[in-house]
Chains A and B, each alone.
Chain A
Amino acid sequence: MSQLFGIGDIVRVIDAHPPGHRRTPYYCRGKIGKIERVCGEHRNPEELAYGFDGKPLRRLYRVRFNQSDIWGHYDGPSEDTIDVDIYEHWLRSAE
Chain B
Amino acid sequence: MMNETEKHEHDHGHSHGDLDADAHALEHIHDHDRQFQPDLEDTPPTRYELMVYAIRELLIEKGHVTQEEITKARNTLESWQPSRGAEIVARAWTDPDFKTRLLADGNEAMADFGVDAGGAKLTVLENTDEVQNVVVCTLCSCYPRAVLGLPPDWYRSKAYRARVVVEPRKVLKEFGTDIPDEVTVRVHDSLADLRYLVIPKRPAGTEDWTQEQLAAIVTRDSMVGVTNPKAL
Query: Which A residues are within 8 Å of any B CB, using their own CB?
Result: 23-25, 27, 39-40, 42, 45, 60, 62, 64, 67, 71, 74-77, 79-87
Of A60, A67, A74, the residue contacting B192 (CB under 8 A) is A60
Chain B residues within 8 Å of A77, by CB: 181-182, 184-185
Known: A74-B166, A77-B181, A82-B165. A23 touches B187 (CB 8 A): no
Residue pair A25, B121 in contact (C-beta under 8 Å):
no
Partner of B186, one of A25, A82, A85, A87: A82
List 11 interface pairs A-B (beta carbons < 8 Å), by A numbering: A39-B121, A45-B192, A62-B194, A71-B166, A75-B167, A76-B169, A76-B181, A77-B185, A80-B184, A82-B187, A85-B193
Contact B192 A81 (CB under 8 A): no
B123: A residues at CB distance < 8 A: 39
Q: Assess the B168–A39 pair: CB atoms within 8 A.
A: no
Q: Is A84 within 8 A of B189, CB to CB? A: yes
Residues of B in contact, count (CB < 8 Å): 22
Residues 153-185 of B at the A interface (beta carbon under 8 Å): 165-169, 181-182, 184-185
Expressed in whole angstroms, the minimum distance between the Cβ of A40 and any Cβ of chain B is 7
Q: Of B165, B168, B182, B193, which contacts A42 at CB under 8 A? A: B193
9 closest A-B pairs by beta carbon, nearest first, are: A85-B192, A79-B184, A82-B187, A42-B193, A80-B185, A85-B191, A84-B189, A83-B188, A81-B186
Q: Which residues of B contact A82 (CB under 8 A)?
A: 165, 186-189
A23 CA to B137 CA, complexed, in Å: 11
**Given that A39-B121, A76-B169 are contacting pairs, would A84 and B184 also be in contact in the complex, using a CB cutoff of 8 Å?**
no
Assess whether A81 is in contact with B166, with CB atoms less than 8 Å apart.
no
Say yes or no: B185 contacts A85, CB within 8 Å.
no
Instruction: Please state if A83 and B187 are interface contacts (CB–CB under 8 Å).
Output: yes
Q: In the complex the two chains form, is A85's CB within 8 Å of B184's CB?
A: no
Q: Does B138 interact with chain A (Cβ within 8 Å)? A: yes
Is A80 within 8 A of B168, CB to CB? yes
In the complex, B139 has a CB within 8 A of chain A? yes
Contact A25 B168 (CB under 8 A): no
- Say how far B24's CB is from chain A's closest CB, in angstroms: 57
Does B190 have its Cβ within 8 Å of any Cβ on chain A? Answer: yes
The CA-CA distance from A84 to B168 in the complex, in Å, is: 15
Kindly provide the distance from the CB of B111 to the nearest chain A CB, expressed in whole angstroms. Answer: 17
Bound CA span A71–B123, Å:
26
Cα A85 to Cα B184 in complex, Å, equals 20
User: In the complex, are the beta carbons of A39 and B187 less than 8 A apart?
Assistant: no
